Amino acid sequence: MVFSPRTPVVVGVGELTHRGKGAADPIDLASAAARRALQDAGAAIGHRIDTVATPGILLIPRDNPASRIAEATGLTPKHRISCPVGGNTPQYLVERLGNRIWRGDSDAVLVVGAECGASARRITSTDAPLEPMAIAWRDESLGDARPGLSEPEMRAGLHWPHEVYPIFESAMAARAGRTFDEQRRWLGSLMAPFTLEASRHPEQSWFPRARSADELSGVSPVNRMVCEPYPKLLNSIIAVDMAAAFVLLAAEVAEELGVPRDRWVFPWSAATCNDVYYPVQRPDLGRSAGIRAAGGAVLAASGLSIDDVTWFDFYSCFPSAVEAAIEAFDLDTADARGFTVTGGLPYHGGPGNNYVSHSIAEMVRRCRSAPDAVGLLSGLGWYITKHSLGLWSATPPPTGWQTPDMVRAQSAIDATSLAVAPLADATGKATIDGYTVVHDRDHGPSRVPVFARLPDGRRVAARNDDPEVAMAMSKKMMVGYPITVRGGDEHVEFELS
């Protein structure tokens, strides 16, 4: 097949899962993964790397990490890019840096990241890694650096993903006519195949153990409830020491450097689109317009339908993220193709913003093993907010490298944003659109954050800190129920009507 010499192509991938007892440094792990990716290409390519890009490191962060990784691996790139928060970042970088390659502005890109959450938990004041020496380079920034939650959401007691994703789950459960308990049992069946896939990758997966649906959904001392309906085993795990990297070249550069063709895997098309940015303003908490728009665009750009895809890896920090992707593509939850090539963030391990580098690495290996097949993967940032999707194959893209324009789709999604009532105005009757019951580790149900709608259509983010109310709201599905909200100086409170 004839294709442009500037077509971007991945030629090398590398991963590392550190299980040692000592504390690991993310720069060291990332550098090791980078060296593996360079070696995987089967030819000397390091001298041509002109860009090193790094997803944001959340735990044991380092200043200017792209520059530090470049120096540690002996690379001399012109561009060193460090990105803000966003689990979509690796696939987003394929899109953005792939376009630089396509235009001739770049020849060779290394994307590499790491997270050392397990080490961060082990570190004490006596064994913390020494702060690295100062470095002369200052990294560029690329990506959307907005925070993931608005002030009204944070005032309602929402600060972390494990508190927000269950709110989406409540809307999905209510649409299906299930209580929290029923939804939890159903989720065990949805996520059990993820654990089976993780068990097939013992060298990479942090938890390479197949589990039954009952193990995942049953609440027990080893699987305590966190935020309903998610017990611990349905939550992403960031406490991992993992790194992954991949190298993207222009096809003509790969040819010039003598990279064997059995190493080449092409990104066919890539697109990024956000949902309404802050969750409290989304018109439907249980669906993702951003995934639907970006997913439809990459398929159309490559002339494919969803039935043409062999493998999926849907971002899986929490089950509601997987369900949003399944719904956006109109798939059956029992689709025999499955929805992960790694095992997903709760079982493969969720190394912060860099998980998708791992899913790209595994997708590349699968494409090499079946050159005519096509894989689709999604990256997701913040709270089902930022979405980057891409198609992959070892066969050159039949329609060429494509990055469809998402401006009109993004404008249409943004136009659906709901107004949020100011604190002083958030008083009166409202209807619950989504909620979760937050559990104290020792005492059970403790508080309830809700997103609710006022009669005039405005949203409020409110909370109730009474354990008795939390207990009552954990026993049945209360999406759609009336409440009374009252604005205060600090946050909006609610009572059951």
Is the confidence at residue 122, as pLDDT, over 90? no
Is the confidence at residue 129, as pLDDT, over 70? no
First to last CA, the chain: 66
Mean pLDDT over residues 357-375, rounded?
Answer: 98
The answer to whether residues 253 and 131 touch, using CB atoms and an 8 Å cutoff, is: no
> What is the reported pLDDT for 435?
98
Higher pLDDT, 135 or 68: 68
Backbone angles phi, psi at 141, to 5 degrees: -120, 145
The answer to whether residues 318 and 235 touch, using CB atoms and an 8 Å cutoff, is: yes
CATH of domain 8-148+238-414: 3.40.47.10
In tens, the pLDDT along 63-105 reads 999 999 999 999 999 999 999 999 999 999 999 999 999 999 9
Higher pLDDT, 332 or 137: 332
| 59 vs 239: CA distance, rounded Å | 9
Mean pLDDT of the chain: 96
- The structural domains of the chain, with segments of one domain joined by +, span 8-148+238-414, 423-496
Max CA separation in the chain (angstroms): 71
What's the predicted TM-score (pTM) here?
0.96
Least confident of 54-63, 111-120, 124-133, 282-291: 124-133
Burial bucket for residue 471 (CB in 10 Å: 0-12, 13-18, 19+): middle
> What is the reported pLDDT for 133?
73
Mean pLDDT over residues 319-326, rounded?
Answer: 98
In tens, the pLDDT along 20-45 reads 888 899 999 999 999 999 999 999 99
The answer to whether residues 52 and 66 touch, using CB atoms and an 8 Å cutoff, is: yes
Domain formed by 423-496, architecture:
Beta Barrel (2.40)
Buried b (16+ CB within 10 A) or exposed e, 315-330: bbbbbbbbbbbbbbbe
Mean pLDDT over residues 332-337, rounded?
Answer: 97
Among 237, 265, 270, 287, which residue's Cα sits nearest to residue 121? 237
The answer to whether residues 330 and 63 touch, using CB atoms and an 8 Å cutoff, is: no
Secondary-structure breakdown of the chain: helix, strand, coil percentages, each rounded to the nearest 5: 35, 25, 40
Mean pLDDT over residues 330-339, rounded?
Answer: 98
Residue 197 confidence class, pLDDT cut points 50, 70, 90: very high
At a CB cut-off of 8 Å and minimum separation 6, what does 63 contact?
A: 135
